[in-house]
A and B are shown apart, each in its own frame.
Chain A
Amino acid sequence: MSRAEILSNIRRGLGRGEASEAQRKAVFNRLNAKANNLIPKRSQLPHAEQVELFKSMAQEASAEIIELSSTADVPKTVTDWLQNNGIKELISSSDAELNELDWSPLGDIQRTQRVAMVGDMASITTSFAGIAETGTLMLHSRGESPTTLNFLPDVHLVVLKRSTIVGPYEDAWKKIRGTFGKSMPRTVNMITGPSRSADIEQTLQMGAHGPRTLVILLIND
């Protein structure tokens, strides 16, 4: 009932009945074109400079960046980081990219593959893309990588391959469409730095409900 009333109100306001075939066609052409709007020049750079821009923007948003020459270095680096912070368990996504690594450096630290739960201290996931324009990570849900890993633990470690860094958001959307076709993953998360809030007296505090710390393991592949 409401639906018909709302739609007919809108049409009356626009001074027409149902849209004509020509008008609908124009709208669908626009939807299908997926054309870019104005893209700021900031990120329209050679790839090496996009990577530098990504790094500086992510750091400005308080993300920590550790550069590695290969994914093989991830287990040792993660172990050091967790030990320095006294963390004894790592909740991990089960992406092949992570599973195929040699995790023996972890020693006593437990690496568990499951959804995140209250009390988890650290998680590790991969990422789909990095967006240089604002130092933003793009992740998406899938069986191997539960979304709770991105939000519930205190520390979120993210593996980002240098080759997946793009300039503007628009290039990341093209990548999403290229990978998934017409159906989007259930969720796409764009993450720029760790969680924060300024709701108490407009004083910015890090670590509101999401991770207090965001560590980007940037692989120079």
Chain B
Amino acid sequence: MQIRSPEFKENARTALKEEGLQRALGKLRAGFPEKRAIAVERMPEFHDLRDEARDLKNHILENLDIYLEQFESKVQESGGHVHWARTGDDANKIILDICKQVNAKTVTKGKSMVSEETNLNEYLEANGIQPVETDLGEYILQLREDHPSHIIAPAIHLNLSDVSEIFHEKHGKPKSDDPAVLMQEAREELRNKFVAADVGITGANFLVAETGSTIIVTNEGNGDLTQTLPKTHIVITSIEKVVPTLEDMTLFLRLLARSATGQEFTVYNTLSTGPRREGDADGPENFHVVLVDNGRSEMVGSEFHEMLRCIRCSACMNHCPVYGSVGGHAYGWVYPGPMGSVLTPKMIGIEKAGNLPNASTFCGKCEEVCPVRIPLPKLMRHWRNNEFEKHLSPKAVRWGLAGWGFFAKRPTLYRQLSTASNWFMRTLGGKKGRVKSLPMASGWTDFRDLPTPTDKTFMQQWNDKKEGKQ
């Protein structure tokens, strides 16, 4: 996926004016958060489960190397292969090699955000192998040569008419405004592709060290057909997804669906352990797991360590006022929303992604809903510091901060200035008590009024109180 994060500000400006996108986002804001709230209400232990999940993830990360080695040896014991990929390019090469070994012409794909990280589809196509996305949302996007704007609802930026349009163009059937008809069309189109594929590629939600199993969680069943029908199943996944036991996986599964779609449980939770067994009539003959690093191992022990707890549920973006206003594409790379604002700078560089950790109101909702209690605002703040230290912040920000710093270090001057600016603001606000336009702050006042400050500053009120005037 082409990196467009440096243009975040322009992207956001355009997104705010896109009617179709705004309509789609309106539905998101009403949908996921409400469903999650109901699911949480129905599970009285939900917040205790979050504490346990946070602690368990911390334990896993402390022993990550041991759990990964254990997972690898269990996969091998069950007849599968494990490949380690330092970078996205390494992962693509490994997958292409496996495809070549089995003379693959087409591969079906279940939804995988890691494969978006590595640009796997483009790479396979460039090497003469046709990838077919099978998740309904991803399939629509592939036809449109588009990319996901959300990690679990990839086509959330599109409306019914967009889907109808592209299906009509690509399938040659009449347009329809009935989602059921469109889904039926996709079902029929993909049926034979599932069967014809030489290789099936899926992601994984978790990797179980105890058994060497990978698990995928889907509502459609596309991931299951993708991994059951072809002769070779490749799992592309990342190193932080390992968990110790089936019981531990269960702890995360209880949190995942509720945090994501607000479902009690996702329709299909499927464990895969090695290739087909003697006597099995179906299932893949070859089973490969590609463990992708792509910057994650460098996060271990760093100030971004806690981000490795993320289970990719999307609750943070579903509740984010910024994501809800500009959508996922504005963020300009694979991972949008608060989790993306922390991950993206690590993966593509703070030089390119500096806007993202700044695109937050720090309202704290993301941390409040995170099932593994990642302090996302704190991690975004680390990036802001990082950006400042590298002298990457825009001049206006640097000068503004330097100016503020000058006064903040001189309390008397600071108080005089704040008293003066208080008076100025109150005068501007007049009787209404609201400032409608403010020089150099049109970014704020163009869209909303600024309330005027109180008559006295905090320090004046404090001193009055001490002197017993109130």
Q: Give the docked Cα–Cα distance between A35 and B155 (Å).
A: 39
Q: Give the docked Cα–Cα distance between A152 and B158 (Å).
A: 28
Which chain B residues lie closer than 8 Å to A40 at the CB level? 43-45, 49, 254
Q: Give the docked Cα–Cα distance between A5 and B298 (Å).
A: 11
Given contacts A13-B302, A15-B301, A37-B251, contact A208 B220 (CB under 8 A): yes
Which chain B residues lie closer than 8 Å to A199 at the CB level? 135-137, 140, 153-155
* Closest-CB distance, A152 to chain B (whole angstroms): 7
In chain B, positions 211-248 with a C-beta closer than 8 Å to chain A are 211-213, 219-222, 224-225, 228-229, 239, 244-248
Which of the segments B97-105, B188-196, B379-387 contacts the partner chain?
Answer: B188-196
* Closest-CB distance, B45 to chain A (whole angstroms): 5
Q: List 18 A-B contacts (CB under 8 A).
A: A5-B86, A12-B301, A13-B297, A14-B64, A23-B63, A30-B245, A31-B70, A40-B49, A57-B264, A143-B281, A183-B78, A189-B269, A195-B219, A198-B261, A199-B153, A202-B28, A209-B134, A210-B268
In chain B, positions 398-427 with a C-beta closer than 8 Å to chain A are none
Q: Give the docked Cα–Cα distance between A126 and B298 (Å).
A: 47
Given contacts A38-B52, A201-B27, contact A209 B220 (CB under 8 A): yes
User: Is B65's CB under 8 angstroms from A118's CB?
Assistant: no
Closest to B275 in A: A186
Check: A185 CB closer than 8 A to any chain B CB. yes
Check: A128 CB closer than 8 A to any chain B CB. no
User: Is A201's CB under 8 angstroms from B264's CB?
Assistant: no
Which chain A residues lie closer than 8 Å to B275 at the CB level? 186
Which of the segments A76-84, A104-112, A134-142 contacts the partner chain?
Answer: A134-142
Which chain B residues lie closer than 8 Å to A117 at the CB level? 195
Which chain B residues lie closer than 8 Å to A148 at the CB level? 228-229, 282
Check: B435 CB closer than 8 A to any chain A CB. no
Given contacts A61-B264, A207-B187, contact A14 B300 (CB under 8 A): yes
Check: B348 CB closer than 8 A to any chain A CB. no
Which chain B residues lie closer than 8 Å to A45 at the CB level? none
User: Is B270's CB under 8 angstroms from A187's CB?
Assistant: yes
User: Is A192's CB under 8 angstroms from B267's CB?
Assistant: yes
User: Is A115's CB under 8 angstroms from B281's CB?
Assistant: yes
In chain B, positions 256-275 with a C-beta closer than 8 Å to chain A are 261, 264-275
User: Is A142's CB under 8 angstroms from B84's CB?
Assistant: no
* Closest-CB distance, A146 to chain B (whole angstroms): 4
Closest CB pairs A-B (n = 8): A210-B221, A13-B300, A13-B301, A9-B297, A208-B220, A143-B279, A199-B137, A134-B265
Task: Indicate the member of B85, B266, B275, B280 with the most A CB atoms within 10 Å.
Answer: B280
* A183-221 to B contact mask, C-beta < 8 Å, 1/0: 111111111111111111111010111110000000000
User: Is B221's CB under 8 angstroms from A6's CB?
Assistant: no
Further contacts, 17 of them, CB under 8 A, given A147-B282, A188-B273, A200-B136: A7-B68, A9-B300, A13-B305, A14-B300, A19-B63, A31-B209, A37-B52, A40-B49, A61-B267, A136-B269, A151-B228, A184-B78, A190-B269, A197-B220, A198-B219, A202-B156, A207-B183
Which chain B residues lie closer than 8 Å to A196 at the CB level? 219-220, 267
User: Is B265's CB under 8 angstroms from A136's CB?
Assistant: yes
User: Is B27's CB under 8 angstroms from A142's CB?
Assistant: no
Which chain B residues lie closer than 8 Å to A169 at the CB level? 250, 253
Q: What secondary structure prevails in chain A residues at the interface with B?
A: loop
Check: A48 CB closer than 8 A to any chain B CB. no
User: Is A36's CB under 8 angstroms from B28's CB?
Assistant: no
User: Is B297's CB under 8 angstroms from A6's CB?
Assistant: yes
User: Is A35's CB under 8 angstroms from B247's CB?
Assistant: yes
Q: Give the docked Cα–Cα distance between A201 and B31 (Å).
A: 11
Q: Give the docked Cα–Cα distance between A188 and B268 (Å).
A: 10
Check: B299 CB closer than 8 A to any chain A CB. yes
Task: Indicate the member of A42, A188, A192, A197 with the most B CB atoms within 10 Å.
Answer: A197
* Closest-CB distance, B112 to chain A (whole angstroms): 16
User: Is B265's CB under 8 angstroms from A186's CB?
Assistant: no
User: Is A10's CB under 8 angstroms from B64's CB?
Assistant: yes
User: Is B66's CB under 8 angstroms from A19's CB?
Assistant: yes
* Closest-CB distance, B39 to chain A (whole angstroms): 11
Given contacts A61-B264, A186-B273, contact A151 B221 (CB under 8 A): yes
Which chain B residues lie closer than 8 Å to A146 at the CB level? 280-283
Binding site for A on B (CB under 8 A): 24, 27-28, 31, 43-45, 48-49, 52, 56, 62-70, 77-78, 84-86, 90, 134-137, 140, 153-156, 158-160, 163, 179-180, 182-184, 187, 190-192, 194-195, 209-213, 219-222, 224-225, 228-229, 239, 244-248, 250-251, 253-254, 261, 264-277, 279-283, 291, 293, 297-302, 305
* Closest-CB distance, A197 to chain B (whole angstroms): 5
User: Is A210's CB under 8 angstroms from B267's CB?
Assistant: yes
Check: A60 CB closer than 8 A to any chain B CB. yes
User: Is A31's CB under 8 angstroms from B210's CB?
Assistant: yes
Which chain B residues lie closer than 8 Å to A9 at the CB level? 293, 297-298, 300
Closest to B250 in A: A169
Which chain B residues lie closer than 8 Å to A30 at the CB level? 244-245
* Closest-CB distance, B55 to chain A (whole angstroms): 10
* Closest-CB distance, B229 to chain A (whole angstroms): 7
Task: Indicate the member of A1, A133, A193, A209 with the most B CB atoms within 10 Å.
Answer: A209
User: Is A203's CB under 8 angstroms from B179's CB?
Assistant: yes
Q: Give the docked Cα–Cα distance between A38 and B49 (Å).
A: 7
User: Is B250's CB under 8 angstroms from A37's CB?
Assistant: yes
Q: Give the docked Cα–Cα distance between A197 and B220 (Å).
A: 6
User: Is A195's CB under 8 angstroms from B297's CB?
Assistant: no
Q: Give the docked Cα–Cα distance between A117 and B254 (Å).
A: 33
Given contacts A13-B299, A136-B265, A201-B27, contact A209 B187 (CB under 8 A): yes
User: Is A152's CB under 8 angstroms from B90's CB?
Assistant: no
Q: Per a CB cutoff under 8 Å, which of B135, B209, B268, B283 touches A186?
A: B283
Task: Indicate the member of B52, B159, B160, B219 with the most A CB atoms within 10 Å.
Answer: B219
User: Is A202's CB under 8 angstroms from B251's CB?
Assistant: no
User: Is A2's CB under 8 angstroms from B250's CB?
Assistant: no
* Closest-CB distance, A157 to chain B (whole angstroms): 16
User: Is B250's CB under 8 angstroms from A142's CB?
Assistant: no
Which chain A residues lie closer than 8 Å to B279 at the CB level? 142-143
